[in-house]
Amino acid sequence: MDVKIEQTWKACLNEEFQKSYFIQLTDFVRNDYKAETIYPPASLIFNAFNLCPFDKVKVVLLGQDPYHEPGQAHGLCFSVRAGVPFPPSLRNIFKEIHDDLGKPVPQSGDLTRWAEQGVLLLNATLTVKAHYAGSHQGKGWETFTDAVIRKLTSERKNLVYILWGSYAQRKGEMIDSTQNLVLQSPHPSPLSASRGFFGNKHFSKANDYLEKTGQTPIEW
């Protein structure tokens, strides 16, 4: 199957694209785009990969589902297009960056600037039906994104994995924490941010590790 994705990812995931689960997933997603309103726009399903090639990844930030309301999702976890009001989790992320690094809250919630610096903004599920959170879970995306993490942990080292909340932390079981930095805390959602997300200092810890391993820190 010829998947339109950035070339370095295409090379290392090509076997995955030929597997029966991925072919079935593609058929399901294609049919749902024809019948329903699905986010993100089809051309942006692999946006996280297209903006952050395999060999450029420095940080992996794991989300769960794309945003499911109009105009929000554009293929990067936690990110919204410029001009879209910040969802609560993103607002809390920017608050923690301000408290951790002293940076002002940005005007835009578009995190493309992070992706272009080497932050893989990966949702576990890459598509969702409008207004229905979790509607494309269990269709095969999780198997695919598990394969992405396994590929990274087997072929790359000295990466930072940022895992917020129990869902992301379950994915973390595949990561070799002796070769990489794994940062875990509660999720930035309003329900859990005050239970340990605020004050986790993940952004400064990530940059400290990158510098220690000879890499350029991220301009959060």
Closest CA to 123 of 73, 173, 81, 159: 73
Q: Please tell me the distance from the alpha carbon of residue 8 to that of residue 17, in angstroms, as a whole number.
A: 14
Interior angle at CA 153, CA 47 and CA 92, nearest 5: 55
Of all helices (H) and strands (E), which one includes residue 204? helix 202-212
Extract the runs of DSSP E, i.e. beta strands, from 74-135. 119-123, 128-129
Beta bridge mates, 183:
162
Q: Which of 2, 65, 99, 176 is catalytic?
A: 65
Confirm whether 32 is a catalytic residue: no
Give the residue among 130, 93, 92 at the shortest CA–CA distance from 114: 93
Distances (CA, A) of 191 to 63, 69, 89, 187: 16, 20, 10, 8
Taking phi over 0 as left and psi of -120 to 50 as alpha, with beta for the rest, 214 belongs to left
164 membership: H or E segment, kind and range: strand 160-164
**Token code pair at residue 111:** 């995190």
List residues with catalytic annotation.
65
